[in-house]
Amino acid sequence: MAQYITAPRGTQDVLPVNSYKWQYIEEIARKTAEVFGHKEIRFPTFEHTELFCRGVGDTSDVVQKEMYTFEDKGNRSITLRPEGTASTVRAVLEHGLLGGALPLKAFYLTSCFRYEKPQAGRLREFHQFGMECFGSENPIADAEMISSADYFFKQLGISNLRVEINSIGCPVCRKNYHEALKSYFESKKDMLCGTCNDRLNKNPMRILDCKCPECQKIAKDAPHVLDFLCDECSTHFEKVKEYLNVMGIDYKVNPTIVRGLDYYTKTVFEFVSENIGAQGTVCGGGRYDGLVETLGGNKTAALGYAIGLERVLLLMDAVGAEIPDTQKCDLYVAAIGENAFKKAIELIKKGRDADLVCEMDLMGRGVKSQMKYANKIDAQYSLVIGDDEIENKKAKLKNMQSGGETEISIDENFVTELFDIMVGGSYDSILKSFEALSGMEE
């Protein structure tokens, strides 16, 4: 097959037969954001490269190895976004959003791009649901953020995740920790990969996040950051744990979590699954209290997380979590002859105006072929119209699952009778119920 009609390596198409799965997960993501008071933010697919070098950190794997960077026609260095937090902070600063009521809560559903070796759960173009919160130093914000991710997974029917938390301290206490790491790794630098040797003096904590098996083996016995926390960071972390206990969220303290991006401070966390192989981390996040200032804003506490949607889909399949298919056709109208075809158009229009999913023949098929098609698209009901039906203004509405048939008007009463049969209550009575409910809410 010609290269130009195959998707680039590390990318994938979402086909119509599977798109409902994505829509369902995105719907739950939006519901989660709404429940926790986050409003949607959308940002460009590409940004100035310096944003990610300064924001994500030039010692991170993302910046050193994984970014899609190119020079545009104006000789500007441009990068496809590798993550959403830096873009969110840039947009918040550019539009002065921190001058309003705080905390500022935002969320996004977006695609990201990283040049990595493709495997299950790790693609070069992938999708994230992210939540961000600006303005609160209070550890309750950390616990609430973790709680929102927990809510999201449980709404999807995923309950067997392990919540792991850690604190990587602030710049003050991390200075002592960095010195301890340097001392530990210095005697082993001949066994470290080239990248980690570069990190040793710049940011030794990045060595703990290296994917090289030899570096991971060496890092197992490295000092733990929790032993170097200052009083403020230690108190903050204890409060986060206390609030998680109040919320009834089970967690495990994992002192090896440092996250892969340089902007994190204090609390970091991951949601981990044992069901999807090597790429078991389905959510990662934490505080980044210095990022707003790094990108040119005032000192502002902030935190957030991102969830990989491809991994969520893998996990839902692995644990058997149900994804409802909402794409079924409510009504298929089959026509015999030109007059019936025009009547079918009229009825389809009425059904769609009433928000029903309605289909009819677009291919010039005979009635038998039309009914075969109705079966293939899982139509719930079908209606066959010919000259007799037009003359009598009546037709047989067939339940495609049970095979039962009910006579229905195909005149001005069509929609009313259709709702009466399909949902057990007339269209008029349903409208009155909604009007009454709306009146009560007002």
Distance separating alpha carbons of residues 126 and 122, to the nearest angstrom: 7
pLDDT greater at residue 75 or residue 441: 75
The pLDDT value given to residue 259: 74
pLDDT digits (tens, 9 = 90+) for 118-157: 888 889 999 999 999 999 999 999 999 999 999 999 999 9
pLDDT digits (tens, 9 = 90+) for 270-298: 999 988 877 789 999 999 999 999 999 99
The pLDDT value given to residue 210: 81
Residue 429 has pLDDT above 60, yes or no: no
Residue 349 has pLDDT above 60, yes or no: yes
- What would the mean pLDDT of 331-337 be, rounded to a whole number? 96
* Share of the chain residues as helix, strand and coil, in percent rounded to the nearest 5: 45, 20, 35
Is the preceding peptide bond at 8 cis, omega within 30 degrees of 0? Answer: no
Residue 199 has pLDDT above 90, yes or no: no
Percentage of the chain modeled with pLDDT above 70? 95
For 2, 329, 385, 405, 427, the CA distances from 413, given in Å and listed in that order, are: 54, 21, 16, 18, 10
The pLDDT value given to residue 64: 81
- Structure-block tokens of residue 295: 């990108």
Given a contact cutoff of 8 angstroms between Cβ atoms, the answer to whether 235 and 251 are in contact is no
> Ramachandran region of residue 364, left (φ > 0), alpha (ψ -120 to 50) or beta?
left
Contacting residues for 206 by C-beta, under 8 A, at least 6 apart: 59, 60, 61, 196, 199, 258, 262
- What would the mean pLDDT of 20-30 be, rounded to a whole number? 96
Residue 370 has pLDDT above 50, yes or no: yes
What is the CA angle 201-203-209, rounded to 5? 125
Distance separating alpha carbons of residues 262 and 294, to the nearest angstrom: 11
Q: Look up the pTM and report it.
A: 0.88
The pLDDT value given to residue 260: 62
Q: What average pLDDT does the structure give for the chain?
A: 91
Residue 256 has pLDDT above 60, yes or no: yes
Given a contact cutoff of 8 angstroms between Cβ atoms, the answer to whether 218 and 190 are in contact is no
The pLDDT value given to residue 439: 52
| Phi and psi angles of residue 409, each rounded to the nearest 5 degrees, phi first | -70, 145
Given a contact cutoff of 8 angstroms between Cβ atoms, the answer to whether 360 and 348 are in contact is yes
Given a contact cutoff of 8 angstroms between Cβ atoms, the answer to whether 43 and 72 are in contact is no
The pLDDT value given to residue 262: 73
pLDDT greater at residue 328 or residue 412: 412
The pLDDT value given to residue 430: 46
Sign of CA dihedral 60, 62, 65, 67: negative
Given a contact cutoff of 8 angstroms between Cβ atoms, the answer to whether 303 and 350 are in contact is no
Nearest to 306 by CA among 14, 62, 10, 135: 62
The pLDDT value given to residue 279: 73
- What would the mean pLDDT of 300-304 be, rounded to a whole number? 97
- Structure-block tokens of residue 60: 């991170």
Residue 103 has pLDDT above 90, yes or no: yes
Bridge partners for 106 per DSSP: 39, 132
Contacting residues for 374 by C-beta, under 8 A, at least 6 apart: 329, 332, 334, 359, 382, 400
Contacting residues for 26 by C-beta, under 8 A, at least 6 apart: 109, 129, 309
Given a contact cutoff of 8 angstroms between Cβ atoms, the answer to whether 183 and 245 are in contact is no
Confidence of residue 424 (pLDDT cuts 50, 70, 90): low
pLDDT digits (tens, 9 = 90+) for 36-65: 999 999 999 999 999 999 988 876 778 888
| Domains, the chain, ordered by start | 3-170+230-319 (3.30.930.10), 331-421 (3.40.50.800)
